[in-house]
Amino acid sequence: MIRRRPSRRFANLAIGSASVLVYVFFYVPVAVLVLFSFNQARTGGRWGGFTTEWYSALFDNDRLITAAQNSLLIAVVATAVAVVLGTMLSLAIDRRTFRGRTAAQQVVYLPVIAPEIVTGVALLAFFSLTLGRLNDLLGRGAQDALRMGRPTIIIAHVAFCTAFVALVVRSSLRTLDPSLEEAAQDLGANAWTTFWRVTLPSIMPGVLGGALLAFTLSLDNFVITFFVSGPGATTLPIEVFGQLRRTISPEVNAISTLIFGASTLLLVGALVVQSTVSRQRSQRIRPLSRQPRNRAAQARATQATHTQLEGQP
Amino acid sequence: MDQHSQRGTVSLRKVTKRFGDAVAVNAVNLEVEAGEFISLLGPSGCGKTTTLRMISGFELPTEGRVHISGRDATDTPPHLRTVNSVFQSYALFGHMTVAENVAFGLRVKRRDKPTIERKVQETLDLVQLSDFGSRFPGQLSGGQQQRVALARAVINEPDVLLLDEPLSALDLKLRQAMRYELTRLHDELAMTFVFVTHDQTEAITMSDRIAVMDQGEIHQLGTPVDIYERPATRFVAEFIGEVNMLEATVVGGDGTRTEVLLSSGDRLTCAPVGDSRLTPGVSVVLTVRPQRVLLTPEGGIDSQEHASLRGELRELLFLGDSTRGTVGLADGTELVAVRHNEDGTHPFGTLRPGDRVDVGWRHGTACLVQ
Amino acid sequence: MDQHSQRGTVSLRKVTKRFGDAVAVNAVNLEVEAGEFISLLGPSGCGKTTTLRMISGFELPTEGRVHISGRDATDTPPHLRTVNSVFQSYALFGHMTVAENVAFGLRVKRRDKPTIERKVQETLDLVQLSDFGSRFPGQLSGGQQQRVALARAVINEPDVLLLDEPLSALDLKLRQAMRYELTRLHDELAMTFVFVTHDQTEAITMSDRIAVMDQGEIHQLGTPVDIYERPATRFVAEFIGEVNMLEATVVGGDGTRTEVLLSSGDRLTCAPVGDSRLTPGVSVVLTVRPQRVLLTPEGGIDSQEHASLRGELRELLFLGDSTRGTVGLADGTELVAVRHNEDGTHPFGTLRPGDRVDVGWRHGTACLVQ
Amino acid sequence: MMAARAARAASGGSGTALRRSAAPLLAPGLLWISVVYVIPGALILVYSFLTPKLGGGVVWQATLDSWEEIVARGRRSDAGWGTVGAAALRGIATAAVAAVPTVAAARYLGRRISRGLGFAALLGALAAVNHLASAYNNYTAVFARSVVWSLWATVVCICLALPLAVFISSRSSPVTKNALLIAVMVSFWTSMLVRTYAIRFLLANTGPLNNLIEALGLDRVVFLNTRFAVILGLVYTALPFMILPLYAATERVERAQMEAARDLGARPPQVFADVFVPMVRPGLTVGVVMVFVLSVSQYLVPTLLGGGKTNMIANLLELQFGEAFNWPLGAAVAALFSVVTFAGLYLTVGRRDQEELL
Amino acid sequence: GDDDDDSADATTTTVDSMPEAPTSEADAETPDADAEMPDAESPMSERCGDPDRLGDSINFLNWADYIDEAVLEMFEEECGVSVTMDTHVANEEAIAKVDAGNSGYSLVIVTDYAVEIMSSQGLLQELDMGEIPNAANIDPNQMDPYYDPGNVYSLPYQYSTTGLAFDETAFSTPPTSYSAIFDENSHCGSSSLLEDQREVLGAALVYLGYDWNEVSQAAHDEALDLVLESRDCVTGFDSANYIGNLASGEVLVAQSWGFAAGIAYLDNPNIRYIIPEEGGTIWQDNFLIPADAPDPYTAHVLINYMLEPDIGALITEFTIGYTPNLTVPPLLSDGYYEVIAGAGLELTDDIRERLVWQVRSEEHSIFAETWSEVIAAG
Ligand SMILES: Nc1ncnc2c1ncn2[C@@H]1O[C@H](COP(=O)(O)OP(=O)(O)OP(=O)(O)O)[C@@H](O)[C@H]1O
Ligand SMILES: Nc1ncnc2c1ncn2[C@@H]1O[C@H](COP(=O)(O)OP(=O)(O)OP(=O)(O)O)[C@@H](O)[C@H]1O
Ligand SMILES: [Mg+2]
Ligand SMILES: [Mg+2]
């Protein structure tokens, strides 16, 4: 029903098709791997018929399962810690003044701008040096020595995840009306209550967004993980990279498909919840400046204001 | 002194607030009585909000002390003060329902649930929002949000309620309605209200007393009539209502009248300013309200009872309810007269722009300020 | 018709705008003359902005045509129309200096640099911001930003200047100053101004003509005096200025007077409405402006020349410039009288709330609308 | 807007906040990041002055060999004044070619011609520096190539992300917006490696894309192990990091300002360049920094899609830390690389944008 | 297997399903090792050494995709030791991990020159041959290598060669020289070289008439020019994808690991493998025990276990390399021999003549320098 000028329609069309293109770009490789996970032929390239055998094979493939478990575990732990640390950092940077604030900001920004490969080798050097020294110091034998593995991976992942969380949370903190927190204090809430009851719920979208990003980054990290992993701490990307020596096994496609499917389901679920909540909330929203349609009520308002109640049906 | 009797008083003693080099509030003394409705009135940036925030505890005074309910509260953190605020932006918690918003103060004080529920219901009744408890703030109109903010503050039964321009985001009609609402609440609750505004009509219609501020200082503290009729300074005269100002020099006078020389060359006799220390030679400003200015054809003013000046009618402006006439005096200064359009006819009779006119005012209706 | 003579005219012919199902503007006809200062006045959401945006080209009418300067511009994109807008939020470019903001329109039209510089200087002079050219909008006060927005629009010498509530974000004093400024500019520039506002005072003091809108329709188009004194509908009466409204039923009358029965039981005689087709039995509303309502002790009204009703004084409210008395009539309806505080004494004499009073108005000052 | 933020920042620091220390909030995160980034970074610097050990690692014996190798030693084959001349010529040629479109664009947008020329000159200078770096020695050559490809990837990312950001932010329902945003992220929940492998398959000489090309009657094109594939991979990997901040910035764009520009007679491209781009600049800066840094140090993409024929700085580092057993040299390359990257970022990203970055 | 002579697909299946076949054969040969009832109170298999000294678990670092996982499962079941195998994709990676100290690995498999480097740096412990009785099974030809004289630190695991693999159908006369890639490359755009500085430069050096391990600057300059020239022709320097590419026909001639040619042959029976007339390399992967291994004894047991005939057969069937274990060849399936024969992987004495070992010492860092020129070139 809405008339549009042709030029604007053209612009919208261009923007829309460019966007579709981007999604195609993102999802064609995903589609390929999903397809391959059902492909009977072991080496890609040709279609050998539909099969689910790779999925059943997957359940016997301890290495892949373990690697996937490792990846998920590390991502979950790193994300959890990073969300806490990153939120704290962004609170400090946004809400407190202290000397060296700029320097602190730049340190926080380091993981974003530091080349991954440099970080990887630096961490390898660092951990070999410190773990060795620590073991010497503690007199640990070979059996119970400190060594690289899941802990070192988590330490590394937490660092860069923290930076990204801080980045995202800071941007939502900046748009948060500071008088909300003051209102809470004014009503008798101490700093702690204010944070839990008011600040955190208000910046929750930012925190969740940061967590999502951190989780994605951790799950997908190869280079840094590669350098700091140790016995029994093979993550999925590292396992897959090893397999590239031959051809990638269809089971890898299968597990990728599973992870993809599960996360999509999860997020779609979250979206459905969000949409119901937001539909609920947006019911009968009235913008601030809208006045009642009832003119008679207004007329009375000028004479005897107390009889007039804005919002009466 | 008896603590109890002081409940609800606020007292600022030589309170100064500096931000870096800038002085936001300058050695302000203010005594608010219990149960009073006091307004802080002044232009943007004059320090009203800063003053309020020192009372609520969000700013620390650089110098001076803040007493609330008779106790020195200067170092008490906000959440332990017996004052509550209504913020200009409402600052409602968007993730909580109206009822949860209102319950917040009691919940953080860990009142038991039945009490909280009962009081929330009572308070929502008070602000006439009983049916809106389960809505979210985003689903309310501006005026309703305003009332939620109010309910959220008053449910805590603070000694003092602070309101920072709570009406400025509302449109005219709603603002009028909310003014009435606030006055009603003040009567019902018997709390001290400290109300910040830059709208003189708001201050005048609602307050017991008004503190007029400018540049961090309180220029005058008094009842609305005091402030309107007897402005202490030029700034107050100018800020409250429309006013004509004529530069003048004192040339003589005694205890009962002062003789001044206007820049237009006219000599006038005025009632003296309160504690008249106006010695000849002092520069003063003669202020007179437009609605007290007579505007007649030449010679139409009885110069016995009235001060009278001669000029030319420059402009007549229809304002709807009233008409405004602008008169140019001999030296070019302008004087404005306003008259209600009482009976649908031109309130200044047959006068037309360009006519020679007399303007004047009854002796005693003009005021001298320094 | 001659193109040149039409420069600056705007004409909306049966223009309708629908958003989905909602009708924002409903079959509006509007002829604006060249050089006129016309205001669109109406409550929030009545379609003012939408109307303006159809003139500037940001919305396409669902039906009807828009003519600008005599030419059909309905399908002309915004950047090719000879109109410019001043946006409510100013919409200044924050990343450009004031001078760059003002120069923008000329720059995108690729005028040569010296011309641009000269004109920017001239325009900044015009709005009295010559010294602020190199500042950024963020460093200016609201009123100054306003003037930059104005300068940015008028530098293009549009045939028509559209202003969407340009003053609503300013505080009272500044608003008054800017009103004056705008009127001055209109006189100097001889452009057509289409001015959108929901503030009646603004519309009344500035405009040549006012179009009062509600719910997407123009209720009345006329001069300020017309609209104030002879509202065509109840909505207009109510929206323009403060007004008392009394429900009444026509009980008789002839061509020169109409007799009505008020809900309070009083019978009154009124001047008829313009094209009086008021036959007995019709419900009408009697409107009378508060400043035309007399308020006296019982029996104080000359019922020969005045309509007169009996009631009780409920409230007296000091408003600074004036005092407002609220009277309750027999049936509980209220009537408001407003009187200037002309000589510093109580304008209603010795009357106090609770007193029995007479209220009334000179015949002919009340109006009947449907 | 900035003034308001400054005021807020200041007020945040006043009053009650003043009484609280930042340390408890700041310390854990800052310490953590320092342990993982700052200290190892310093260690790398130290390593670059040590002696390599066969089998990897270092011998704790100071030497300047590594730095001499990468700074002082030019490439055997084609160093000399001739190269400088060639570089100058190439710069001038590039500037001349670029000048035509940039000046036209400047004219069209109503900007000064000198700005168009300046931009062309900048491109020329870049080309010349690139030429010099490519000729100077192996390290500068690989470095220059990494930078140039990452710049290309950044440009492509901007071109793809801008319409998408506008598209998403012009949706009216917040749920749709979130769904579209999440759709960007979700594809990243399958391992990058696996997806890159899928891209390999798609681009192969005998892959579907080439089959399609052949079906259209054209000759098969070699995509794999070329710059094209590598830059495509870089874009694929980094695109979300452009989309997310750009979307956030687009959300904050005020429609009124764009309409004001239209109203003042600006044609849509002018509105875009003069109003939209400056308004989304903070987000754009964040995106550009992230995409560039991510791309310039990419390891997987050149390895998987470059097939050893098209290498970037990470491959060189990998060689030194791996097969070459020359950690000090690798450390020196890494240190130099980081320093140049940081310096470049600080020089190109303005003060204001830096504040915006975090 | 009965489906040996079927198509390539069938062959794939055969190799995949291989674990069962040799296991049953092993059962037949060593009846005391009752694979069906390995657990419970029945005495542990004697292939598990001394149960008192045997640990519960062991960390094992191996090349990726270089062992049939069934072997590890069998060991776990038979001996009750859980094996965590991590993989590396380069010897350098393994060295770095062990060099970092306390890597946690008790058993590591790396290629020849890496053993020399590691032992020279004191990263390894001497093997106790008393605990590895199966060492006696090993082919003397593969013992006492240059990198570990006397096998003090290492025992061979698998070995193979590096040569050329090609698609028979693409050549009228099968190539016999590196010229198929370096010069007169008739399959420009369909050839590939390994991503390995030593192999590529070595091949170039021998092609130019130098020694495979040549370190003179002049020779390297020449070799570099040759590699840079052929760079435009090869699809890539690639150690992994070319296997699939050979199978799919994307690559027609490639420098290749021997075992990899076998794998490619499984998918594409037209693949043939040769050692060019200029020569090729032989290389051998070895068991090592790091000096700081947490559980050296269990590592010895595992080494010994993997040198069992049936286990060795499982491993070799999987890797398609050559086994150094003399007891294994009789147990290998027909499928294995079909691949070796079909792809031309037989290691005759004639071919052995042409093979050299890669040597690696300080002076060989010139290979890295030359290679960084290759990297810098594109
Ligand atoms: N946190 C701060 N840092 C620096 N200056 C400040 C700060 N807060 C207020 N000021 C300055 O102090 C002065 C008083 O500010 P205040 O907010 O109290 O004014 P106000 O009377 O409330 O004005 P408004 O009507 O505009 O709200 C102003 O000049 C303001 O710029
Ligand atoms: N883009 C739109 N989509 C849907 N409805 C719209 C849109 N723009 C305006 N409307 C609706 O059209 C009606 C008229 O809106 P308009 O903005 O013209 O009002 P207005 O008179 O300018 O009000 P205000 O004083 O609040 O600015 C309103 O009900 C509004 O909700
Ligand atoms: Mg304030
Ligand atoms: Mg509007």
Which residue did the predictor score with more confidence, B370 or E139?
E139
- DSSP 8-state code for residue A195: I
- pLDDT for position C1: 47
Q: Is A231 part of any domain?
A: yes
- DSSP 8-state code for residue B275: T
pLDDT band per the 50, 70, 90 thresholds, residue A125: confident
- CATH number assigned to the domain comprising residue C297: 2.40.50.100
* Domain shared by C69 and C165, yes or no: yes
Q: Is the pLDDT score of D356 beyond 80?
A: no
Does the CB atom of residue C19 touch ligand 2 within 6 A? Answer: yes
| Distance in Å, alpha carbon of C112 to nearest chain D alpha carbon | 10
Task: Round the average pLDDT of chain B to a whole number and report it.
Answer: 87
DSSP B39-93: EEE--TTSSHHHHHHHHHTSS--SEEEEEETTEE-TTS-GGGSSEEEE-TT----
Mutate to test the interface with A, among D53, D194, D339 (most CBs of A within 10 A): D194
> Measured between beta carbons, which residues in chain D are less than 8 angstroms from residue E118?
55
Contact E184, E146 (CB under 8 A): no
CA–CA distance, C345 with A273 (Å, rounded to integer): 66
Does the CB atom of residue C24 touch ligand 2 within 6 A? Answer: yes
Does the CB atom of residue C161 touch ligand 2 within 6 A? Answer: no
Q: Is C304 part of any domain?
A: yes
CA–CA distance, D264 with C83 (Å, rounded to integer): 8
Q: Is the pLDDT score of E5 beyond 50?
A: no
| Residue D17 CA to ligand 4 centre (angstroms) | 40
Residue of E nearest to A144 (CA): E294
Task: Round the average pLDDT of chain A to a whole number and report it.
Answer: 81
CA–CA distance, D69 with D98 (Å, rounded to integer): 36
Q: Which domain holds residue B66?
A: 4-231
Find the length of chain C: 370
Ligand number nearest to the C-alpha of B19: 1
pLDDT tens digit string along B48-85? 999 999 999 999 999 999 999 999 999 999 999 999 99
* Both structure tokens of D128: 């010349």
CB-based burial of residue D215 (10 Å sphere; 0-12 exposed, 13-18 middle, 19+ buried)?
exposed
Q: Is the pLDDT score of A169 beyond 60?
A: yes
**Could you tell me the CA-to-CA distances from B10 to B59, B64, E166 in Å, in that order?**
16, 14, 96
Q: Is A8 part of any domain?
A: no
- pLDDT for position D125: 93
Identify which of E93, E68, E96 has the alpha carbon closest to the alpha carbon of residue E83.
E68
Which residues line the pocket of ligand 1, CB cutoff 6 A? B 19, 22, 24, 42, 44-50, 198; D 10-11, 14
Residue of A nearest to C74 (CA): A5
> Measured between beta carbons, which residues in chain A are less than 8 angstroms from residue E267?
42-43
Mutate to test the interface with A, among B173, B184, B187 (most CBs of A within 10 A): B173
- B residues 281-340 lying closer than 8 A (beta carbon) to C: 289, 291-292, 317-322, 338-340
Task: Round the average pLDDT of chain E to a whole number and report it.
Answer: 86
Three-state SS at B120: helix
Mutate to test the interface with E, among D206, D323, D329 (most CBs of E within 10 A): D323
- pLDDT for position A249: 77
| Residue C19 CA to ligand 2 centre (angstroms) | 9
Q: Is A234 part of any domain?
A: yes
Identify which of D44, D42, D43, D47 has the alpha carbon closest to the alpha carbon of residue D59.
D47
Amino acid letter for position D14? S
Interface pTM (ipTM) of the complex? 0.80
Instruction: Write phi, then psi, for B222 (nearest 5 degrees).
Output: -175, 180
- A residues 221-280 lying closer than 8 A (beta carbon) to D: 222-223, 236-237, 240-241, 244, 248, 252-253, 256-257, 259-260, 263-264, 267, 271, 274-275, 278
Tell me: domain D138-358, CATH 3.30.1370.60, correct?
A: no
**Could you tell me the CA-to-CA distances from E315 to B282, C177, E68, E79, E341 in Å, in that order?**
113, 94, 6, 18, 18
Residue of E nearest to D200 (CA): E241
What average pLDDT does range C199-210 have in this prediction?
90
Q: Is the pLDDT score of C264 beyond 90?
A: no
Q: Is A146 part of any domain?
A: yes
Q: Do chains B and E touch (3 or more CB pairs under 8 A)?
A: no
Q: Report yes or no: C263 at the B interface, CB cutoff 8 Å.
A: no
| Distance in Å, alpha carbon of D311 to nearest chain E alpha carbon | 6
> Measured between beta carbons, which residues in chain D are less than 8 angstroms from residue C156?
264-265
Q: Is C273 part of any domain?
A: no
Q: Is the pLDDT score of E270 beyond 90?
A: yes
A14–D206 CB contact, under 8 Å: no
B225–C172 CB contact, under 8 Å: no
- pLDDT for position A245: 64
- CATH number assigned to the domain comprising residue A107: 1.10.3720.10
Identify which of B179, B219, B217 has the alpha carbon closest to the alpha carbon of residue B197.
B179
Extended beta strands in chain C, E state: 10-19, 22-32, 37-41, 63-68, 71-72, 83-86, 160-164, 192-197, 209-214, 217-222, 244-253, 258-262, 267-270, 283-288, 294-297, 306-318, 322-329, 334-340, 356-362, 367-369
Hunting for tokens 């409210």 — which residue is that?
C317
* Domain shared by C219 and C293, yes or no: no
What average pLDDT does range A185-189 have in this prediction?
90
| Distance in Å, alpha carbon of A279 to nearest chain B alpha carbon | 11
Q: Is A39 part of any domain?
A: no
Q: Is C251 part of any domain?
A: no
Does the CB atom of residue C58 touch ligand 2 within 6 A? Answer: no
Instruction: Sketch the domain layout of chain D as residue ranges.
Output: 71-137, 138-358
Q: Is the pLDDT score of C272 beyond 90?
A: no
What average pLDDT does range E265-275 have in this prediction?
92
* Domain shared by C14 and C101, yes or no: yes
| Distance in Å, alpha carbon of C160 to nearest chain B alpha carbon | 25
Which residue minimizes the CA distance to atom 6 of ligand 2?
C19
Q: What is the 3-state secondary structure (H, E, C) of chain D?
A: CHHHHHHHHHHHCCCHHHHCCCHHHHHHHHHHHHHHHHHHHHHHHHHCCCEECCCCCEECCCCCHHHHHHHHCCCCCCCCHHHHHHHHHHHHHHHHHHHHHHHHHHHHHCCCHHHHHHHHHHHHHHHHHHHHHHHHCHHHHHHHHHHHHHHHHHHHHHHHHHHHHHHHHCCCCHHHHHHHHHHHHHHHHCCHHHHHHHHHHHHCCCCHHHHHHHHCCCCCCCCCCCHHHHHHHHHHHHHHHHHHHHHHHHHHCCHHHHHHHHHCCCCHHHHHHHHHHHHHHHHHHHHHHHHHHHHHCCCHHHHHHHCCCCCCHHHHHHHHHCCCCCHHHHHHHHHHHHHHHHHHHHHHCCHHHHHHHC
- pLDDT for position B138: 82
Q: Report yes or no: D182 at the A interface, CB cutoff 8 Å.
A: yes
| Distance in Å, alpha carbon of A206 to nearest chain D alpha carbon | 11
Does the CB atom of residue C45 touch ligand 2 within 6 A? Answer: yes
| Distance in Å, alpha carbon of E97 to nearest chain A alpha carbon | 8
- CATH number assigned to the domain comprising residue C51: 3.40.50.300
Percent of chain A with pLDDT over 90: 27
* Domain shared by B160 and B59, yes or no: yes
A63–E248 CB contact, under 8 Å: no
Percent of chain B with pLDDT over 70: 93
* Both structure tokens of A194: 């204010």
- pLDDT for position A39: 86
pLDDT tens digit string along C144-185? 888 899 999 999 999 999 999 888 767 677 778 788 888 888
Which residue minimizes the CA distance to atom 26 of ligand 1?
B44
Residues 6+ positions from A136 with CB-CB distance below 8 Å: none
Q: Is B358 part of any domain?
A: yes
What average pLDDT does range E228-240 have in this prediction?
89
B174–A310 CB contact, under 8 Å: yes
**Segment of C226-240, D77-91, D324-338, E43-57 carrying the highest mean pLDDT:** D324-338
Domain count along chain C: 2
- pLDDT for position B61: 95
Instruction: Write phi, then psi, for E266 (nearest 5 degrees).
Output: -60, -35
pLDDT band per the 50, 70, 90 thresholds, residue C273: low
- Shortest CB distance from A259 goes to which of D21, D41, D190? D190
Q: Is the pLDDT score of E209 beyond 90?
A: yes
- C residues 335-364 lying closer than 8 A (beta carbon) to A: 335-336
What average pLDDT does range C98-121 have in this prediction?
92
pLDDT band per the 50, 70, 90 thresholds, residue B276: low
Q: Is A227 part of any domain?
A: yes
pLDDT band per the 50, 70, 90 thresholds, residue C344: low
Q: Which residues lie across from E111 on neighbouring strands? A: E285
CA B62 to chain centre: 26
Q: Report yes or no: E103 at the A interface, CB cutoff 8 Å.
A: yes
- pLDDT for position E74: 93
Chains within contact range of chain C (3+ C-beta pairs < 8 Å): A, B, D
- pLDDT for position C345: 66
Hunting for tokens 């190269």 — which residue is that?
D83
Which residue minimizes the CA distance to atom 8 of ligand 2?
C50
CA E328 to chain centre: 16
Q: Do chains C and A touch (3 or more CB pairs under 8 A)?
A: yes
Which residue minimizes the CA distance to atom 31 of ligand 2?
C45
Q: Is the pLDDT score of A286 beyond 70?
A: no
CB neighbours of residue D273 within 10 Å:
18
Within C130-243, residue ranges assigned H as helices are: 142-154, 172-189, 200-206, 224-229, 234-239
Q: Is A237 part of any domain?
A: yes
Q: Which domain holds residue A208?
A: 62-176+191-256
- pLDDT for position D308: 86
* Both structure tokens of A146: 């400190």
Identify which of B58, B68, D21 has the alpha carbon closest to the alpha carbon of residue A182.
B58
Q: Is B265 part of any domain?
A: no
Residue of C nearest to B239 (CA): C173
pLDDT tens digit string along B114-128? 999 999 999 999 888
Ligand number nearest to the C-alpha of B25: 1
pLDDT tens digit string along A24-82? 999 999 998 898 889 887 765 667 788 888 899 888 888 889 999 999 999 999 999 99
Q: Do chains D and B touch (3 or more CB pairs under 8 A)?
A: yes
Nearest atom of ligand 1 to the alpha carbon of D10: 1
Q: Is A150 part of any domain?
A: yes
What average pLDDT does range A266-285 have in this prediction?
70
What average pLDDT does range D132-143 have in this prediction?
87
Residue of E nearest to D308 (CA): E237
Domain count along chain A: 1
Instruction: Write phi, then psi, for A188 (nearest 5 degrees).
Output: 105, 5
Hey, which of D5, D11, D16, D18 would you mutate to test ligand 1's pocket, going by the most ligand atoms within 8 Å of its Cβ?
Answer: D11
